Amino acid sequence: MPEDAVQDGTGSPDIPLDEPMLYHWSVVIENTLYAAFILFFIIVLPLISEENSDPRLLLLIPIAYLGSVAVAAVMLYWRWRRTTVTFRETDLLIVRDTVFKRDQRIPYNKIASINVNRGVINRIIGTSKLMFNINSSVNAITPEAAVVLRMDLADKIRHELSRKMYGSNLDAHTEDNVIPSVVSISNKDIVLHSILSQPTIATIIGAFFLGVSIMEAYSMMIGGGMNATLIVALLMFFSSTVIPMLVQLFHYYNYKIYRIKDTVYIKCGMIRLYNTSFKVNKINAVRLKSPLIARLTGRYFLEAEVVGLGSSEGGNNNEPSPLICPLKDRKTIDAVMSQVIPEFVYERDPIKQPGAAAKTIYVHAAMWSAACMAVLFAIIYWATELGVADPGLATGLYFLSACSIVIFFAHGAFSRRIVEMDTGENHFSFLWGVADRVITTVAYDKVQIVRIKDGPLTRPYGLAKCRVRLLTAAGGGPVVSGYFRIQDLNVIPETVLARIEDGRYDYKAYL
């Protein structure tokens, strides 16, 4: 990282400090368009779908719709006129003086991240949406405030606040043009990432529905006529495979990542631009992922679970964790880790699940197989009762139940050998998965609750599973281990407590 070169960039630009500012007027347009979209479904659709050809009603529909949109526009304009944002010396003040009054103060030292989100309307008009996130367990995935400003002003404010918060001394121009990405990621890499980073199960489902679509299209070409199965199969193919790929492609296009001091910056986006920044001390955990097909080509990708990182309005629960490195070979991934998040690099000395875990794993496989067979045989029974069973269906279901047994036992056999855990000094890690593997490396200091759970099958062997809850974060969730000896799992809570006790855990380091 050419840190020294960029640290000498131009100083803080002028920001209207202590002056209440209105949001950019484009907010009114954006929100009115959104309201028009919603009102279309509420007012127009129900009326035109009724079998009513009364011309008066047909005339009333556009009048009612346009009238509602106009009322919404006036209300949104009024709200815009009465909402101000003031950037003060130590905090940000948002005042809304409408029916629902709001007086929101966000101290700069509580801000975990400031992200920029630029949608199509923002890009046409030349504005940016600044998203302010604080360290909150409640709103960890929702920005506390979203302020729309002229793009140059938003960039200035973001950089000035970054300077205050992170010590970065860059302006937007320097940052965009001088600092190279830590890792060279071409858009071809992003296309590859979008395709190969999908979970294997999604790929299998997608391939199945694509196959069905092709067969149905072929039979339609021969027999003629429209086929409902073709439409359903195509819809399933697009929703399970194509759309998730396109979402990834649009999100991570033009990807760039760099680190300045303790702050990681990620810029990406094809249509909507995302400028994300967060302090390294806000990272709970790092996930090294390798879906089956990607792993067969020797590729992995790296994600971080970050506290206080909402980069879209509305608190999207499915918001992905920030991508630290798209699909690359292991050597590149290791290099990126050591440059961007060296805090999470440590010598792993993992332990595999003990041999006794095999019994539990195979009993589980047998139970799942039995459940699966019960469902399939119930289907055959009902199909016979209803008189719709034919020899082909029964053979297919018997074949499916045989396959399911093989899959469950093979999965168990592989997981027994693959799943592992490791407890280091500052971090611990779990490797999970058979086809799609994930190594989750967690900082002990981010652990909030540990739950060690044993059952009738594991108890006789002194084995249990561990579930660790971390600080709430976007794209985060509990981290779960495989079956390990209880004393091995107990190392995790004991280390957490020991670090608090002996002062290795310093709360100031995470503010």
Partner 1 sequence: MASEDFEIGEDGLTKDGYRALEKRARTSMYVRNLLVLAILLASYAVFLLYYREIGSDAIFWPVTLFTILLTIYILVGPAIYYARYRYRIGEDRIDVRRGIIFISHEIVPVERIHQLEVSRGPIDNMFGLADVTITTAGGVASIQHLERNVAEDIADSLNEYVNKIVKERS
- Rounded distance between C-alpha atoms, residue 488 and residue 463, angstroms: 9
Q: Of 127 and 429, which CB lies nearer to partner 1 in the complex structure?
A: 429
Least Cβ distance, residue 368 to partner 1 (angstroms): 17
- Rounded distance between C-alpha atoms, residue 287 and residue 303, angstroms: 5
- Rounded distance between C-alpha atoms, residue 372 and residue 350, angstroms: 34
Q: Does 363 bind partner 1 (CB under 8 A)?
A: no
DSSP secondary structure of 383-409: HHHHT---HHHHHHHHHHHHHHHHHHH
Least Cβ distance, residue 451 to partner 1 (angstroms): 5
Count of CA atoms in the C-beta half-sphere (13 A) of 175: 26
Helix (H) or strand (E) segment spanning residue 172: helix 172-178
Beta bridge partners of 325: 302
Q: Does 496 bind partner 1 (CB under 8 A)?
A: yes
Q: Of 122 and 481, which CB lies nearer to partner 1 in the complex structure?
A: 481
Least Cβ distance, residue 508 to partner 1 (angstroms): 8
Question: Is residue 130 a contact partner of residue 172, using CB atoms and an 8 Å limit?
Answer: no
135-154: which residues touch partner 1 (CB under 8 A)? 137
Q: Does 501 bind partner 1 (CB under 8 A)?
A: yes
φ/ψ bin of 269: left (φ > 0), alpha (ψ from -120 to 50), beta (otherwise) = left
Q: Of 355 and 456, which CB lies nearer to partner 1 in the complex structure?
A: 456
- Rounded distance between C-alpha atoms, residue 17 and residue 23, angstroms: 15
Q: Of 244 and 493, which CB lies nearer to partner 1 in the complex structure?
A: 493
Helix (H) or strand (E) segment spanning residue 34: helix 26-39
- List, edge to edge, every strand of the sheet that includes 111-118: 145-150, 127-134, 111-118, 273-279, 263-268, 256-260
- Rounded distance between C-alpha atoms, residue 134 and residue 482, angstroms: 33
User: Taking Cα atoms as reference points, which of 360, 353, 350, 290 lies closest to residue 326?
Assistant: 290
- Binding span for partner 1 by CB under 8 A among 70-78, 145-153, 391-399, 449-457: 449-457
Q: Does 472 bind partner 1 (CB under 8 A)?
A: yes
Q: Does 497 bind partner 1 (CB under 8 A)?
A: yes
Least Cβ distance, residue 457 to partner 1 (angstroms): 10
Q: Does 502 bind partner 1 (CB under 8 A)?
A: no
- Rounded distance between C-alpha atoms, residue 11 and residue 183, angstroms: 27
Q: Of 176 and 494, which CB lies nearer to partner 1 in the complex structure?
A: 494
Q: Does 493 bind partner 1 (CB under 8 A)?
A: yes
Least Cβ distance, residue 285 to partner 1 (angstroms): 11
Q: Of 206 and 310, which CB lies nearer to partner 1 in the complex structure?
A: 310
Q: Of 199 and 493, which CB lies nearer to partner 1 in the complex structure?
A: 493
Q: Of 294 and 447, which CB lies nearer to partner 1 in the complex structure?
A: 447
Mapping DSSP to helix (H, G, I), strand (E, B) and coil, where does residue 84 land? strand
Beta bridge partners of 427: 443
Mapping DSSP to helix (H, G, I), strand (E, B) and coil, where does residue 224 land? coil
Q: Of 239 and 384, which CB lies nearer to partner 1 in the complex structure?
A: 384
- Rounded distance between C-alpha atoms, residue 195 and residue 203, angstroms: 9
- Binding span for partner 1 by CB under 8 A among 26-34, 114-122, 322-330, 447-455: 447-455
Sole binder of partner 1 in the list 35, 270, 356, 452 (CB under 8 A): 452
Q: Does 456 bind partner 1 (CB under 8 A)?
A: yes
Size of the site for partner 1 (CB under 8 A): 31
Question: Is residue 315 a contact partner of residue 141, using CB atoms and an 8 Å limit?
Answer: yes
- Binding span for partner 1 by CB under 8 A among 32-40, 150-158, 321-329, 456-464: 456-464
Q: Does 256 bind partner 1 (CB under 8 A)?
A: no
Q: Does 419 bind partner 1 (CB under 8 A)?
A: no
- Binding span for partner 1 by CB under 8 A among 21-29, 220-228, 231-239, 378-386: 378-386
Tokens found for residue 397: 């279901």
Mapping DSSP to helix (H, G, I), strand (E, B) and coil, where does residue 101 land? coil
Sole binder of partner 1 in the list 382, 396, 400, 504 (CB under 8 A): 382
Q: Does 109 bind partner 1 (CB under 8 A)?
A: no
Q: Does 469 bind partner 1 (CB under 8 A)?
A: yes
User: Taking Cα atoms as reference points, which of 341, 279, 321 lies closest to residue 111?
Assistant: 279
Tokens found for residue 148: 């729309």
Sole binder of partner 1 in the list 370, 451, 487, 504 (CB under 8 A): 451
User: Taking Cα atoms as reference points, which of 72, 71, 97 lies closest to residue 83?
Assistant: 97
Q: Does 255 bind partner 1 (CB under 8 A)?
A: no
Q: Does 393 bind partner 1 (CB under 8 A)?
A: no
Sole binder of partner 1 in the list 233, 288, 471, 474 (CB under 8 A): 471
Report the interface residues with partner 1, using CB under 8 A.
137, 378, 381-382, 385, 446-456, 459, 464, 469-472, 478, 486, 493, 496-497, 500-501, 505, 507
